[in-house]
Structure 1
């Protein structure tokens, strides 16, 4: 049904597609324009246009190999395995829908953002910063494409730009971020002025969401379907095991550096009593210190997408699992961090066991999903 609708949408000229999507869809039109261009090259049938989604799926996987430069066993293979076996991602990689494109662009945007943050902070090493302009072009260009693919993508890019307004690691100037955000506002304004936004909102009446709880489950189904909030025994057991593992990893004793006493507190910076220049600086500086942690940065992005969805669900039931696929790259990177913590504290084999268990579950769910009509 969805694929037939997409084929009918792209069986028009490019300008007619823009007008059609403006009035009939509640998301930006970029995927349909890509699909139209692709259909002119390969043909306008479901198997032929599906190849576009296959291509975007391969691009998502390839981006982790190219951009994710931590080539240790855990750091490279955990994100690739979780991404490649995700049930919704594999399903939409074989469908004429925008979600494989969403994951591919979100992967490039997220990974290039991490590179900009890491290399932009190494100002004393020119050899590291030599390719920063190219990475900036990749980030801002891909972020624009991502924001024009889906409104959840627009939200994702807006969050990245807002965080960088505090950090200022992507660029010393805020103008690129302001320009990117301004360009992303054009389509919503057009849809409000010339589209039928209210009618499209009413078309989502089939969505049933209990705010926060169902919203959280929708996020998990899209990104980490092994753990759900449920009264079913299997999910209760899985949730309990995962929670116990998290507690065991974060409460197990850490190895101490040579010469350090086990009872000695961790080192800390000497307090500075220099008077802050403004109240804004006083408030922003602690946030910048928290954002310097890569895991906190990724978790904040994902958490803000979830929070925004939950608040919207209070007014209008809107969130669905596939909308949250924009968070999949950040989620697999967070799971990579978790597996590295397991490796560091419990050893490599427990980390492999946990990853393997999640992958097997996802493969089973992927087979079930792909078997659906």
Structure 2
């Protein structure tokens, strides 16, 4: 007798399974960007987030305001900070399912599975940042455009811009498509929603742009971190969407396995593009627009285009090989989840090696994760204050050109942790 399972039960199983997957090692150490989120939640009130923190940041304030509400109720543990991203990933997966149904895709559950298991989505579902919130809002925007819900289009577009500035490229891509199709009511809805958001954000955005230009001038290598237009940064986009944020030795094996997987997915996406050109356009156009904008200000990093996971998953669902793609995504995602080697920087372990009354030298703006785990540690800016012997955390030093030799020190001891380290510096004794 053949066992039949209803689609509703399969959907529940899929979403519960994805949530359980996201919970694996979700208490791993927070890293620099998440440390910023944690510090803002702890040190700033609602009004202060907008007036004091955001002018010095590079993102709009809506995510932080939302997280302030959340952490007031849920607390500040690693899981509590990351749970909203997990929930936004699940919600976006639900919207992908609805979009697939609207597109008359026969395998809507496969489309949702392809989204939920996509390695980069799994990684950022475990990150206390605004990217999955933006992905959810942009998926709602696209669904509303299919349903001709013009109010919904405008609201979703506005909220996405107020969550993440990079949303503008997804909005611009959809706007261009509607212009091409002469769907002017959708164009108007997108334009009005985006315009309202930019008008509201303009006083803040103008200050942020000034501060960004100052920082780009002060920190010479900051442009390369943000993402200039290079062949490497362009190639990283398909690579990371295919295999996620993992890399391993030997490198030839990694490049062979990941390269084959990228090639397979690329061929399947190309074949699917013949069936739905709009989805293909919504994958490619934001990257092209982002690359063009990066000639003016650097922002060409793959995670800033996380929202293309939505049309990408829908395209792959057209393939007759979708079950194998789901399996492949699952393998790459589990490789990240189950092996701590691929997890975030281990600030948690580093903090246990420091005394609560320790004085640590480094770049203060780069040590928010340390403050999260060891709030009592005294942090000194190594650029302005030094002593004969120092406990140093050299995180981001290459960006600022800081070396022990530059200040006349030698390294006497190093403690290594995943992605971070503690160094012990001593002043060189001059021979007379």
Which category of TM-score, normalised to the shorter sequence, fits these structures?
0.5 to 0.7
2:173 equivalent in structure 1: 159
**Equivalent residues in 2 for 1:267-346, closer than 5 Å:** 295-337=276-318, 339=319, 343=320
CA distance in 2, matches of 1:34, 1:249: 35
How far residue 146 of structure 1 moved from its aligned partner, in angstroms, is 1.0
Per-residue CA distance 1:104-130 (angstroms, 9 max, x = gap): 2222223333x23xxxxxxxxxxxxxx
Tell me if 1:112 matches 2:144: yes
How far residue 246 of structure 1 moved from its aligned partner, in angstroms, is 7.0
**Equivalent residues in 2 for 1:233-252, closer than 5 Å:** 234-236=254-256, 239=259, 243=263
1:180 equivalent in structure 2: 193
How far residue 331 of structure 1 moved from its aligned partner, in angstroms, is 1.2
CA distance in 2, matches of 1:179, 1:249: 32
CA distance in 2, matches of 1:185, 1:294: 35
How far residue 53 of structure 1 moved from its aligned partner, in angstroms, is 1.9
Does the aligned pair in 2 maintain the 1:17–1:32 contact within 8 Å?
yes
Does the aligned pair in 1 maintain the 2:107–2:317 contact within 8 Å?
yes
Could you say what secondary structure the match of 1:28 adopts? coil
2:332 equivalent in structure 1: 361
Alignment RMSD: 3.6
How far residue 324 of structure 1 moved from its aligned partner, in angstroms, is 1.5
Could you say what secondary structure the match of 1:97 adopts? coil
1:223 equivalent in structure 2: 241
How far residue 32 of structure 1 moved from its aligned partner, in angstroms, is 0.5
Per-residue CA distance 1:117-164 (angstroms, 9 max, x = gap): xxxxxxxxxxxxxxx5xx333332222111211121122113222332
CA distance in 2, matches of 1:331, 1:248: 10
How far residue 332 of structure 1 moved from its aligned partner, in angstroms, is 1.0
1:62 equivalent in structure 2: 94
How far residue 356 of structure 1 moved from its aligned partner, in angstroms, is 2.6
How far residue 7 of structure 1 moved from its aligned partner, in angstroms, is 2.0
How far residue 17 of structure 1 moved from its aligned partner, in angstroms, is 0.5
Could you say what secondary structure the match of 1:149 adopts? coil
| Count of residues in Structure 1 that have an aligned counterpart in Structure 2 | 302
1:214 equivalent in structure 2: 232
How far residue 21 of structure 1 moved from its aligned partner, in angstroms, is 4.2
CA distance in 2, matches of 1:143, 1:220: 25
Q: Which has the higher strand share?
A: 2
Could you say what secondary structure the match of 1:207 adopts? helix
Per-residue CA distance 1:264-311 (angstroms, 9 max, x = gap): xxxxxxxxxxxxxxxxxxxxxxxxxx9xx8722222222221112323
Q: Show structure 1 runs of 5+ residues with no match.
A: 117-131, 252-289, 344-349
Does the aligned pair in 2 maintain the 1:103–1:325 contact within 8 Å?
yes
Does the aligned pair in 1 maintain the 2:117–2:329 contact within 8 Å?
no
Pick from 319, 343, 365 the counterpart of residue 371 of structure 1. Answer: 343
**Equivalent residues in 2 for 1:113-128, closer than 5 Å:** 113=145, 115-116=146-147
* Cα distance change, pair 80–177 in 1 and its aligned pair in 2 (3 A): closer
CA distance in 1, matches of 2:308, 2:266: 21
* Cα distance change, pair 78–20 in 1 and its aligned pair in 2 (3 A): farther
How far residue 72 of structure 1 moved from its aligned partner, in angstroms, is 8.5
Q: Which has the higher helix share?
A: 1
CA distance in 1, matches of 2:281, 2:158: 21
Does the aligned pair in 2 maintain the 1:222–1:325 contact within 8 Å?
no
1:35 equivalent in structure 2: 67
* Cα distance change, pair 49–359 in 1 and its aligned pair in 2 (3 A): closer
Could you say what secondary structure the match of 1:215 adopts? helix
Does the aligned pair in 1 maintain the 2:169–2:286 contact within 8 Å?
yes
CA distance in 1, matches of 2:88, 2:270: 36
Does the aligned pair in 1 maintain the 2:157–2:190 contact within 8 Å?
no
How far residue 325 of structure 1 moved from its aligned partner, in angstroms, is 0.4
* Cα distance change, pair 21–303 in 1 and its aligned pair in 2 (3 A): farther
Q: Show structure 2 runs of 5+ residues with no match.
A: 1-31, 347-432
Does the aligned pair in 2 maintain the 1:222–1:328 contact within 8 Å?
no
Does the aligned pair in 1 maintain the 2:316–2:322 contact within 8 Å?
no
TM-score norm. by structure 1 comes to: 0.68
* Cα distance change, pair 160–20 in 1 and its aligned pair in 2 (3 A): farther
